[in-house]
Chains A and B, each alone.
Chain A
Amino acid sequence: MNKKSLIKIENLGKCFWLSETNCLHALKSANLEINTGDFLAIMGPSGSGKSTLMNLLAFLDFPTSGKYFFDGKNITSFEDDYLALLRNTVIGFVFQQYNLLPRTSALDNVRLPLVYSGLAKKIQIAKAKKVLKKVGLENRMDHTPAELSGGQQQRVSIARALINNPKIIFADEPTGNLDSKSGQEIMQLFKELNKEGRTIIMVTHSEEVAKFANRVIRIKDGKIL
């Protein structure tokens, strides 16, 4: 398997200023390297800083210290619109609560990221159909989230994450809201995506779920153990 370095962080830190002099170190000089094709699980108790780490890796937040190399490129600009562009083009998100737009068809939910990349609607729809087929929902394209089961909704959100053909998929407790059977199915889907060569970074506190990953890191009090 190709073991090219995809993400490399050096002494990456994040502090939230509580007052002018007092800062809360949510993440303390973290070092980590993630290779293309990894299936990484980030584990840790709540408040440990695992979400902060993922937010930083996923371009949702900016670090206060350290360096972040993505695909060999040193990310120096953490300006809002630049981060939005990165989120739109190189990564995909899967959330615990699916975060699908209500009263909107699966197809329209899936093509939403492409709306912001300004692609023609025809291409958006063609791509959305393709990824929906990939997650096994080709017969549910016109259904709204309310008409889908939890597992199906999470599949829609995985399809949405895939539509940009991202380098990495970030998953934040993807099975947290699902029963164990649907959870297993979703994890199986992630496993398959990983086998195709997709890099997956997943936050979880379930050992059961973490078993699907091929690499686990643990975090506690803002430090990678």
Chain B
Amino acid sequence: MILIENIKTGWHQLLLNKGKSLLTMLGIIVGIASVIYMMTIGQTVKNFLISQIESMGTNTLMIMPNYSSSDTYKSNFNLSTDDVEAIRSSQLTKSLSGVSGVINYPTKFLYEATKKTFDTTLTAINSDGQIIANYEAIQGRFFSNEEYLKNARVALIFENDVDTVFGNKNPIGEIISIENKKFTIIGVLKKQSSLQPTMGQVQLVAPLSTVQFLFEDGSKDIFYIFAKVDKKENILAMQAAISNILNNRHPVGKDEDKLVSIESMDSYLAIFNNVLLGIQLFLSLIAAISLIVGGIGIMNIMLMTVKERTKEIGLRKAIGAKKQHILMQFLVEASVLTIIGGIIGIIIGISFSALTVFIVALVKPDWNFTLSISWLGVILSCAVSLLTGIIFGLYPAMKASRLSPIEALRYE
């Protein structure tokens, strides 16, 4: 096969002048390495962020007052635990595996044993909240529905705050007081997302009913409702059902905007995914500019090669090489240069990505940051390398193929 002979010749030429070849390939190497780095790190960060978001629960719906409408403010509208009960008791919402109202209540608490005070945000939910928010009690237990109904004064703490508050004491059964009301710690929750903003506060989880009864003067108002759908396929149906129930409960005038808005976590995830992909591609594109510079370098060197080897081209033509043979030979030679440059670039790009991930893992071991190589990027890089060789090799190769054998042979 003539292609194999061409590749061999190209490889030969490359080895003949290793230093020159390496310098020639440098542009391609840098270009491909940057593209691979951008793609790989982008992919890694994306996977990391998505896994973080998913750890906070998938298939969840967020039901909020429609803050984008001025009608919501005019009517001073708030959702309440009655809305939660309406959703729960409806026949239409069988596919929900849980529904809960939520209040985030910022306050302080005092640990009785050490008399130390801590800033906190109480996440107030009902017993369904455990399933919805994906809370896992690694010690003790979550509060039951009975405790919820009885306004039990119990709270849970996250594992990462245990040492801060309780030192090396077992937190289960310890007493804290929030605004002079005593609460018993009944469980420790597994830390969910390393990205959860804590603002130096200790996060506590307590029954919503208790918080409403003790700190909100028994008001039934809540900030928002969150619900979990059993299967991804049912998300849209549940969204419609809940919308139906709540809009019936909170009717609006003909020209007014609806008071309730429902968003699914997955739709956020999809938007988030697209935005990240956009950023990733944009950065890769910038990196790809150096590929053009690299390509011009290749063109330059190939023009020189054609000139240096004019006599050889003349000979090849004299003994029967057709135009296409010469064209192919130099195209293949340029492509061998760019593909090898590309492969070196891929190796460097992945090495740097691995190094970056290694460093991040060293600095933030709790992030579970793992390298995920973008195979799409690798395949794309190989294709782009080949394409660069063909595009920028074309002009020199055409020049070579058009040489007249007599003049080329006479060339000194």
Contact = CB atoms under 8 A, between A and B. Distances in A.
- Which of B318, B405, B409 has the largest count of A CB atoms less than 10 A from its CB? B318
- Which of B16, B317, B320, B325 has the largest count of A CB atoms less than 10 A from its CB? B320
Given A99-B311, A103-B12, A116 B319 contact: yes
Interface in B313-350: 314-325
Interface in A71-99: 80-81, 84-85, 87-89, 93, 95, 99
Nearest to A170: B318
Contacts of B325: 116
A61 B311 CA distance: 17
Contacts of A95: 315, 409
B332 to A, nearest CB: 13
Given A115-B2, A116-B325, A103 B16 contact: yes
Given A60-B406, A103-B16, A89 B320 contact: yes
A113 interface: yes
B179 interface: no
Interface in A39-73: 55, 60-61
Contacts of A84: 317, 320-323
A85 B406 contact: no
A117 B409 contact: no
A213 interface: no
Place the interface of chain B in its size category: 20 to 34
B409 A116 contact: no
B312 A117 contact: no
Place the interface of chain A in its size category: 20 to 34
A117 B322 CA distance: 10
A170 B5 CA distance: 27
A5 B276 CA distance: 78
A80 B322 CA distance: 8
Given A60-B406, A103-B12, A118-B2, A112 B323 contact: no
Contacts of A80: 322-323
B323 A113 contact: no
Contact of A99 (B315, B323, B406): B315
A112 B409 CA distance: 16
Contacts of A89: 320
A8 interface: no
By secondary structure, the B interface counts as helix
Interface in B1-60: 2, 5, 12, 16
A81 B323 contact: yes
- Which of A87, A115, A117, A164 has the largest count of B CB atoms less than 10 A from its CB? A115
Contacts of A164: 320
A160 interface: yes
A112 B319 contact: yes
A55 B2 contact: no
B381 to A, nearest CB: 32
A101 interface: yes
Nearest to B5: A115
Contacts of A117: 320
Interface string A17-37: 000000000000000000000
B312 A101 contact: yes
Contacts of B319: 87-88, 93, 112-113, 116, 160
A93 B318 contact: yes
Contacts of A116: 2, 316, 319-322, 325
A93 B405 CA distance: 13
Contacts of A87: 317-320
A164 B405 CA distance: 19
A85 B320 contact: yes
Given A80-B323, A85-B320, A55 B16 contact: no
A117 B12 CA distance: 22
A112 B312 CA distance: 12
Contacts of A61: 406
A88 B323 contact: no
Nearest to A101: B312
A80 B402 CA distance: 10
A63 to B, nearest CB: 13
Given A80-B323, A116-B325, 4 more contacts: A81-B322, A88-B321, A93-B318, A116-B321
| In the complex, the 6 A-B pairs of residues with the closest C-beta atoms, listed nearest first | A88-B320, A99-B315, A113-B319, A84-B322, A116-B320, A81-B322
19 contacts: A61-B406, A80-B323, A81-B322, A81-B323, A87-B318, A88-B320, A99-B311, A99-B314, A99-B315, A99-B318, A101-B312, A101-B315, A103-B12, A103-B16, A113-B320, A116-B2, A116-B319, A116-B322, A118-B2
